[in-house]
Structure 1
Amino acid sequence: MTVTTMDETNEEKKTGELPENEGNVITLVGEKSQLSEEVERKGCEEILAALNEDEKSRLSDEHMALRHLRAEKGDAKLAIKKLKKALQWRKEFGVDKIKNAFSKNGDQEMRSVMTLENETGKCYVRGYDKEGRAVFYMRPVLENTKEEINQMRQLVYHVERAIACTARKSGLEKFNIVIDYKGFRLRDAPPMSTSKHTLEILQDYYPERLHRAYMFNPPFIFRTFWNLIKAFVDPVTKQKIVFCHGKAGLVEMADKFDMSTVEDFTGGTAGELRAFDSQEYLASTPFDHTFDEA
């Protein structure tokens, strides 16, 4: 992990090192510090000191330790425990193999899995909010598979892609999720194990990454599904969930997004955008670009 100063944001630093000047300010681009500078600096030092060299080499980026520290409200010991678990998960789950499935030397089996999982367009990253955070769209009624592990690989691919797109576009840390529940029926609800697994990945392994989750067109029957899973949603994540109904939902979107760039089911003013093309998105579009990005 690198801890950067306000004027060193664009300088490359070796993973696991702290700047020599102990008076430097820890910062995440576009994010307000949740703790005092001293607490964050000392906490990050404690976390990095607790990692072995292999763990340090597997940090996803220079701010991973800081995000875990903030997620645990400054409790460095708990952050160390959670971070070590996340690093082990990334290794065992094969996050790098998932991310690189469509690179020149990508794993062919993983590529086949991702191609099948994505063929209906149930998940994709497209566009940004006004501040440059990528938008990860989910459309549950287009679910086409039943194998949980591969569905989770699909989730991780898109989380990683949304993060990469946001970083390239604006240098920010977080991304948005927009879920379209149009046509959702109770039989479309995923098994409880899948819902819990999804929440575990987002909350435990990607803390401080979600900006907002917008829920569009939730039918009355969705309340039954929500009542089943909300007990597993941590309080911080609950605060980020926005249920978008009618005009109030459109106002919420218009405040945060250029409405000419979002899908029509969110109130987009451009009508239907170009139809999603899974093959183009996976195989031809750079990983750090959203679909149909100019």
Structure 2
Amino acid sequence: MAEVAPESAMEQMKAAVEKLGSSTEGETEGDLTRFLVARSMDPKKAARMFVQWKTWRAEIAPLGYIPEDEVLDELGSQKIFLQGPSRSGFAVFIILARKHFAPKDFLQLKRFVVHILDKTLMSCEGHAEKGKEKIVAILDLQKISLANIDVRSLIAGFQTLQDYYPERLAKVFIVSMPLIFVGAWKIVSAFLSKTTLDKVQIVKSEEGRAAMLKEIGEETLPVEYGGSAKLVPLQDVKLNYLPATTG
């Protein structure tokens, strides 16, 4: 396919969205561009992705966001921590896998993923260029047991990022991966795109920890990982929720 100029691709995408019975009204060109980039600047593929996102968003978050009182079981585990911005201005969140157990209510788990991602992205507004806010995640597997290994939830989390938050993931650091998790990670990896997998770094050495410190910054990275910050529970970070933005 011949290369399409960015301006032309944008107009073609908007037209394709209308042909699919939807609208891009209210969306910034910066947000729409992320769908184009995620689909290699193919206007029709980007339009389909956008319409799928819009339908999903209306179903998963009809209020425009996920209130805390709708994910209280997941919040109660205190397994997610939301730190300050990275050196690049990206939002940093941490998952303590040893505090996670397979949910009884899987729909709440999926809504919790959206709650995390929305709040994380909103927390870096003003630190990163508008429309280019991204996420850096740390998946901490220290001291996990078989009871904490939940392949289904991990796949759901990564697929939500891939399918509905295009161009939002900057990096995932997996730290302290034990042998009991290796098989599970192989299964999860099979569901991830190459683009996503290229952003995952398994930290195995001091060199890897140094790279994580350089990416995130000492003032944001918690002491547990070589920085100087304290872990901040997700629910302790107070933000003013706004109408939904595009992933």
Common fold by TM > 0.5 = yes
With structure 1 as the length reference, what TM-score do the two structures score? 0.72
Unmatched tracts of structure 1, length 5 or more? 1-35, 102-110, 289-294
Matching residue within 104, 126, 134 for 1:168:
126
In 1, are the aligned partners of 2:82 and 2:92 still within 8 Å (CA)? Answer: yes
Shift of 1:51: 2.9
Question: Residue 248 of structure 1 corresponds to which residue in structure 2?
Answer: 207
Question: Residue 116 of structure 1 corresponds to which residue in structure 2?
Answer: 73
Once the two structures are superposed, the pairs formed by residues 202-213 of structure 1 within 5 Å of their partners are 202-213=161-172
Q: Which amino acid aligns with 1:162?
A: T
Rounded to whole Å, the distance in 1 between the matches of 2:212 and 2:187 is 27
Question: Residue 107 of structure 2 corresponds to which residue in structure 1?
Answer: 149
In 2, are the aligned partners of 1:137 and 1:177 still within 8 Å (CA)? Answer: yes
Give secondary structure in 1 for the equivalent of 2:179.
coil
Rounded to whole Å, the distance in 2 between the matches of 1:68 and 1:95 is 21
Once the two structures are superposed, the pairs formed by residues 212-227 of structure 1 within 5 Å of their partners are 212-227=171-186
Report Cα offsets for 1:248-281 as digits up to 9, x if no partner.
12210222122233123322245xx2x6456533
Shift of 1:161: 1.4
Structure 2 CA distance for partners of 1:166 and 1:227, relative to 1, 3 Å: same
Question: Residue 239 of structure 2 corresponds to which residue in structure 1?
Answer: 286
Shift of 1:174: 1.3
Unmatched tracts of structure 2, length 5 or more? 242-247
Once the two structures are superposed, the pairs formed by residues 180-199 of structure 1 within 5 Å of their partners are 180-192=140-152, 194-199=153-158
Q: Which amino acid aligns with 2:24?
A: K
Rounded to whole Å, the distance in 2 between the matches of 1:279 and 1:185 is 25
With structure 2 as the length reference, what TM-score do the two structures score? 0.85
Q: Which amino acid aligns with 2:187?
A: L
The reply to whether residue 265 of structure 1 matches residue 224 of structure 2 is: yes
Structure 2 CA distance for partners of 1:179 and 1:277, relative to 1, 3 Å: closer
Structure 2 CA distance for partners of 1:157 and 1:184, relative to 1, 3 Å: same
Matching residue within 24, 43, 52 for 1:56:
24
Q: Which amino acid aligns with 2:134?
A: K
Identical residues among aligned pairs (%): 22
Structure 2 CA distance for partners of 1:151 and 1:223, relative to 1, 3 Å: same
Report Cα offsets for 1:54-113 as digits up to 9, x if no partner.
632464x542221111111121111111111111101111164434x2xxxxxxxxx322
Once the two structures are superposed, the pairs formed by residues 49-88 of structure 1 within 5 Å of their partners are 49-52=15-18, 55-57=23-25, 59=27, 61-88=28-55
In 2, are the aligned partners of 1:58 and 1:87 still within 8 Å (CA)? Answer: no
Structure 2 CA distance for partners of 1:264 and 1:245, relative to 1, 3 Å: farther
Matching residue within 75, 87, 97 for 1:130:
87
Rounded to whole Å, the distance in 1 between the matches of 2:192 and 2:113 is 17
Q: Which amino acid aligns with 1:161?
A: K
Shift of 1:133: 0.5
Once the two structures are superposed, the pairs formed by residues 222-233 of structure 1 within 5 Å of their partners are 222-233=181-192
Q: Which amino acid aligns with 2:16?
A: A
Aligned length: 235
Q: CA RMSD in A?
A: 2.4
Rounded to whole Å, the distance in 1 between the matches of 2:137 and 2:13 is 29
Structure 2 CA distance for partners of 1:241 and 1:278, relative to 1, 3 Å: closer
Structure 2 CA distance for partners of 1:120 and 1:221, relative to 1, 3 Å: same
Structure 2 CA distance for partners of 1:97 and 1:67, relative to 1, 3 Å: closer
Q: Which amino acid aligns with 2:223?
A: D
Question: Residue 93 of structure 1 corresponds to which residue in structure 2?
Answer: 60
Rounded to whole Å, the distance in 1 between the matches of 2:55 and 2:232 is 34
